[in-house]
Amino acid sequence: MIEIRQHRDSLSVDLYYDFHLGNDEKRIPKWSNDKVGRMITERFMTNQPDVEAEDWTMMDEL
């Protein structure tokens, strides 16, 4: 988790591939980027049940 926070604004292709393809040395499972994105989306939808999908897909980051 610390590594994610330290690099949350990174545009590094290598870091992207670590989270997309997985990295055994860093113990990052394959498709972690999709899993994290899904968790963020589900949490937002749970905490903001009145916001329609059309609206939240076009929102600026908080």
Which pLDDT belongs to residue 2? 57
Which pLDDT belongs to residue 53? 85
**Cross-strand pairs, 23:** 28
Which pLDDT belongs to residue 1? 56
Phi, psi dihedrals of residue 46, rounded to the nearest 5°: -70, -40
Which pLDDT belongs to residue 14? 92
Sorted by where each begins, the domain ranges of the chain are: 2-56
pLDDT tens for the chain, 62 residues long, are: 556 778 888 899 999 999 999 999 989 999 998 998 899 889 989 999 999 888 888 888 76
Contacts of 47 (CB under 8 A, 6+ apart): none
Task: Check if the beta carbon of residue 21 is closer than 8 Å to that of residue 29.
Answer: no
DSSP 16: H
Which pLDDT belongs to residue 6? 84
Which pLDDT belongs to residue 62? 62
